[in-house]
Amino acid sequence: MPDDKAHADTLLLALTSLLKSEHIGIVNRLNVLKKNVFLELMLKKDTTKNIDLSIEMHKNQLIIIRMPEVIFLIPEERDIATTYWMSKVMLSLQVRASRIPDRSKRTKVNLVVDEIYEVAHTEQYLTFKLYQVAKFVMKPIISCHYINQLTHMRQELRNANTSYILVAGRDKDNFKELKEELYPIVAEDLMNRISYTSFGLYPL
């Protein structure tokens, strides 16, 4: 981020979201941070070599945030790290908006997140931010096997003018979730599609 304070504020925001868990206490969450040597090193590292996401996301390029499973072994560690990154992306969008007030001059950002339901607090955080992303010229693209896996985001997506792509051969539960929107298409139409094809459902 642009400075140390912004970096610290972003991490604090991510941790605050996680510490609100009803099932795992504050002490346990902090212990998770201390047990993972990579997270501990991140907390201690200075910010002199940090990239400024608010600038990089405006360059019309692919940015990949990789989190190897061998480093983040347990779900709580992955949740902490992904919530941190998600909050950092949102803060960068806000910084960019203050730097470039004219929305038409901002590069559109497509944020692709695979299987976000595996990190519950990250899903909660992005759900809370869904109503804001359009004004920051950002579009989240969420992939999952079943729509009902999205515990927190599912209803918000319905209210957010969302487009859906249903891949051929998907479970009928996905069809049932969008049955009204897909009419007059029936479940068999989806199940019998040729491999590697899909149905697209786009808002008018």
Strands 198-201 and 164-167: antiparallel
Each residue's pLDDT tens digit, 123-161:
999 998 888 888 999 999 998 888 888 988 988 888 877
What integer pLDDT is reported at residue 159 of this predicted model? 80
Average pLDDT over residues 116-129: 91
Task: Compute the C-alpha angle 39/44/49, nearest 5°.
Answer: 95
Please report, for the chain, the start and end positions of each structural domain, with discontinuous segments joined by +. Answer: 4-161, 163-204
Average pLDDT over residues 72-94: 88
Place of tokens 């920051």: 136
Average pLDDT over residues 30-43: 72
pLDDT bracket for residue 83 (50, 70, 90): confident
What integer pLDDT is reported at residue 15 of this predicted model? 56
Nearest to 121 by CA among 154, 73, 81: 81
Q: Is the pLDDT of residue 44 over 70?
A: yes
pTM of the model: 0.75
What integer pLDDT is reported at residue 1 of this predicted model? 45
Place of tokens 């960068």: 92
Place of tokens 């992306």: 89
Tokens (6 digits) for 190: 């989806």
Each residue's pLDDT tens digit, 169-203:
656 777 788 887 777 877 777 777 767 777 788 87
Q: Is the pLDDT of residue 22 over 50?
A: no
What integer pLDDT is reported at residue 89 of this predicted model? 93
pLDDT bracket for residue 46 (50, 70, 90): confident
Residue 155: half-sphere exposure toward Cβ, Cα within 13 Å: 4
The alpha-helical segments, DSSP class H, found in 108-178 are 120-133, 154-158, 172-177
Tokens (6 digits) for 91: 């803060």
Q: What is the DSSP secondary-structure string of 10-22? A: HHHHHHHHHHT-S
